[in-house]
A and B are shown apart, each in its own frame.
Chain A
Amino acid sequence: MTALTDAVAVAKRNIIGMIRRPQLLGFVTIQPVLFVLMFRYVFGGSIRIPGVSYTNYLMAGIFVTTVLFGAQNTAIGMAEDLHHGLLERFRSLVMARSAVLAGRVLADAVRNLFVIVLMLGVGYLVGFRLHTSLAALVAATGMLLLFGFAMSWVTALLGLAAKSAEAAAAAALPLTVLLTFPSSAFLLTGSLPGPLRAYADHQPLTATVNTVRPLLLGGPTASYAAAAVIWCLGIVAVFAPLSVLRYRRTALGRARHRP
């Protein structure tokens, strides 16, 4: 019980910190809006997807990459807490040990929900229309939150391992790019050369996009949904314990540098 209330208190604090830093909030909101505009109006004219308008095709990719970009904040936030000594104070309090990481992941889920709603609005403005049902939209949101949850654990680990907040952001960037561009987010993977296509077809972001897209536009989801859920749960199974382990070790190792 106290573990939950402690996590909520930490999450609230993380959300306030996000709102009070316009550069971070801008990063998670302006960037996806720019992506929508760029792909819709710059690339959209030259990309043909059979049987669907590019705007409608694009939005599933936008939702998933938005969640992925947001996860970079987790890396930055964890690194900041660590290097500003806040984690050390937390360790001397009676609060639940799990609350720091749980609060971070919880705040991420709130942020993700916020940007999903925001992007839905932006999408409608540029011509995106939901072709399925409210239930399908809720299912799509659930899939996006699960993907965000998995990514948060990966970037939490990056943040704890990084020497500074800047280093954490730099470490998260290649991950983001490698998942975003060789994928089905904005293109048909069929247009990619052989090995790249094989990678693009079998990576978690593609699986997530291919689950979310039919939930928005109609069509079969089952095979992709299974792959996406397995990917996300697998990532959590690997990275959550690694993050927890790193979190426990990091504070101890730091004594070496600050005698």
Chain B
Amino acid sequence: MADPAIGVHGLVKRFGPVVALDGIDLAVQAGTVLGLLGPNGAGKTTAVRILTTILPPDAGQASVLGLDVVRNAQDVRAAIGLAGQYAAVDENLTGRENLRLIGQLTHQPRRAIAPRAEELLDRFGMATAAGRPVRTYSGGMRRRLDLAAALVHRPPVLFLDEPTTGLDPNGRSDLWTLIGELVADGTTVLLTTQYLEEADRLADRIVVVDRGRIIAEGTAIQLKASLGSTVVEIRVADPADARRAAARLQPFASTDVLDGRRTLAVKVPDQGPAVQEVIRLLDADAIVTESLAIREPTLDDVFLELTGHRASPGPGVNHGSTS
């Protein structure tokens, strides 16, 4: 196998008493997308910061295109683009001025700077907004500009740190399309996300991180197969019924009694016969359901399965907020 485009070995980073990364290994082959999936505080952003030369690691080694991120930091910077959840563009500059500034600061040939900015503005559907200061942009437009800014110098390796966190479904879907096009062009991408759906949609391989450690990895299909691809959520009137149902279904599928003790999450391998079997088993025990819903597994399900604790505090997946 060829040298990976991004290689990480035994990466450790501490902030005082907090261990942000506790020995991470990664290998991303050129032209592929790796999804780093995990909740807030898992160490995803710290890993991206080290790989983009912003932070030095405490131990371990990281390289991009064979270049060490500490010893060859300047060469690494020339080869990478970074776009993040914080949409680091200048509010007071226009979209066009932002892209030209990045063109200058990445030392592009003087004559190529303006045309490259226009090309990206066109491609990202921002031509009409290009002359307005960024502070007038919507969240989705800022994110697109942020991504465009990361591409000004045509980097072969791209780091996307939670590219759609906080965006509405339209903005998210727009950005997914753009990222998909970049990948089709052969860019190597390392993407961090809190959304299983996003990793599933964009990434060739997924690495699940929690508290600075890798807890699972594989393709989306492999992960789903090991976790159950479908979750049946059953709500009953009486907590005693929930316990009874859990006992009844346990030999057949993995179950968790959720908050309030009246809801069961049952992981099954498919949406057809397996669901029918769940219903048949409940019926046989005369357990009456208040509601029954079938859904895709969320990051919460993945975490509950892999770690026994929830990805985010409180019920359900904490969409959006990061701090």
Contact = CB atoms under 8 A, between A and B. Distances in A.
Interface of A: 2, 5-6, 9-10, 13, 16-17, 20-21, 84-86, 88-95, 99, 251-252, 255-256, 258-259
Contact of A251 (B42, B54, B87): B54
B105 A6 contact: yes
B16 interface: yes
Interface of B: 13, 15-16, 18, 20, 40-43, 45-46, 49, 52-56, 74, 77-78, 80, 82, 84, 86-93, 97, 101-102, 104-107, 133, 149, 323
Contacts of B20: 255, 259
A93 B46 contact: no
A16 B105 contact: no
Contacts of A13: 90, 93, 97, 101
Given A17-B93, A85-B84, A93-B102, 10 more contacts: A6-B105, A9-B105, A88-B84, A89-B149, A92-B53, A95-B106, A95-B107, A99-B105, A255-B55, A259-B41
A73 B261 CA distance: 57
Contacts of B78: 94
A84 B91 contact: yes
Given A93-B106, A94-B74, A258-B45, A88 B88 contact: yes
Contacts of B53: 91-92
Contact of B86 (A20, A84, A90, A94): A84
B3 to A, nearest CB: 22
20 contacts: A5-B104, A16-B92, A16-B93, A20-B92, A21-B92, A85-B87, A86-B88, A88-B49, A88-B88, A89-B149, A90-B105, A91-B53, A92-B80, A93-B105, A99-B105, A255-B15, A255-B45, A255-B46, A256-B16, A259-B41
A142 B267 CA distance: 75
Given A9-B101, A255-B46, A92 B93 contact: no
Contacts of B77: 92-94
Nearest to B83: A89
Contacts of A259: 18, 20, 40-43, 45-46
B133 A255 contact: no
Nearest to A99: B105
A226 B208 CA distance: 64
Nearest to A87: B88
Contacts of B88: 84-86, 88-89
Nearest to B84: A85
Contacts of A255: 13, 15, 20, 45-46, 49, 55
A58 B258 CA distance: 75
B105 A256 contact: no
Contacts of A256: 15-16, 18
B242 to A, nearest CB: 35
B47 to A, nearest CB: 11
A89 B99 CA distance: 13
Contacts of B149: 89
A259 B74 CA distance: 24
A231 B91 CA distance: 36
Nearest to B92: A17
B69 to A, nearest CB: 11
Contacts of A85: 84, 86-88
Contacts of A91: 52-54
Given A6-B105, A94-B78, A88 B45 contact: no
